[in-house]
Structure 1
């Protein structure tokens, strides 16, 4: 709905306001009149009319009325119309991603804005994903919105020759949206995979698009085993009968396509790691080596943290701890939980407890808090 409104109005803030007003109208009207035959179409139409009314009431914005691509007479706001009439493009969400990932915006602003507009994430959640303070993220979002409005960045998928220059940012957006789903918001994970399929069809010769799609599919296939009620279940303890082996097989086929295209980038490497982790037994030395390659490609301390965890799984927690202690990730939950696990394995209970307590301070979900509390109780 928001993607449709942004494309129609060309203004993120106005689109969000109109969406809120439409939902408020629905809450007020539907209990008495019943849900329309096409509630999505009703909401979009109502939101459009609310936005137009707001513009008309504001005399300082009168000139903008003539810029809106609509006739003077609009559909009655309570009329349930055919949703197909509102669809002018094949996938409005993907168009919104490409609009947000315009090269005129800084990369961090591109990803953050799309997560806010498309992923439905709160500013605090986006800040957490970027490991920056919430106020810093608020400023990034404000600057990105202002630039789109001031420069008239179009709401459209660019021509084929321009797609590659936006690909890195688009893939980063899908990856972060998926990560939010992987942490428990499964609806976001499924949406990221759906968009990944659309993107792979749009850019069939780009190996990284297939690499990311394969990565998301293989992780998503294990989602049913990652939680037991409100409890987080680690990979080694998961019930593999709950894994979606058909989706894992499909993900591996997509990965084969990426490799056949010469893919050696970050998402392809991560997809290879995910494929190896879905085998029994896991070849942890090989996984650690692949994380080393990924660290060379990204320079990311989070990747180094994952490499250290794989080194520990391969049988050397002391070496893993030395690597972890060299990382500057004090505000990152998984830095402290990983460090606590390594210290626990090395028999350093008091230090492990301190690390787990720090992780517990940073935990935001019930499964994370329950898992860390149990680790503390077991020391």
Structure 2
């Protein structure tokens, strides 16, 4: 299944790879393989909604870490007193987690380091790709590459591949050709109109037709009354995947559907396009890094073609509206942090204020669309209060 794509990603990453139909599905099988139900997983409070639910579906207890205010990622220097049995990084917007420090902690404790590299297809640390520093890294093909729905698990050891492949094949759902083609057409259209004058009317049309997930603010509705009995009743982590499917599938209802060679061919073409975009992306990162509102970590990674450049601004919602009028639809906002979004379902952060502040102020900007976004972002004022921000 998808051997050509696995070889292409393996050559890019220097690790054996296993194709999965989505990043979230890849993370789920990785957590099920390397961790046991009931164990504690250290994770960032600022990540996509489905990540929290797939961790719960794997039977794990989310332990929410303090974040570094420079990057929005786990603050590795502040986790010594927390109890956990594994670590899941985020690499927010392509800014790398401190995998050196986290890797050392995991090695000393003999626990897995799983890298969520969905935002970090082209990011490196010490010239080594993000996603290849830990036990496993899980990539998304639909984000940086703009390919069809799909992902890739990069493994430190090929010995783990058969067991992961068995898990993958066991929990895949049947392929529906019409659904697959519709997803491809949607992705092609999105790539074509992204950052153009057509983006805003397409966004409003999708919203009017109910094609977007219903949200409360920037998060999907928790629906605690529906969630609680499902959390209480599952008998194994794999039943948990089915039980929590309505939450895990947000914005990707085919996250575990089998795919065909048609998807593989399109994804291979998009990987080549990704490489051609590298210089444009780097130029956009460097230009946005000139703004006083840019997150401080960006200035330390001007050689990285980031997925998004995080700005930290006073009135984020007003900025979102202004960007939409310029054809820039800004997603990937994770507000509020998980321990505020789902109290009681996590072990809360011992230092939550930094994450609350970051989630409230962050504005991720696509560096490929810097020219269209510039009239808006250049006029924004900073949301960095001196008593909170400590560069």
- State the TM bucket, normalised to the shorter chain: under 0.3
Q: Greater strand percent: which structure?
A: 2
| TM-score in terms of structure 1 length | 0.27
| TM-score in terms of structure 2 length | 0.27
Q: Greater helix percent: which structure?
A: 1
Greater gyration radius? 1
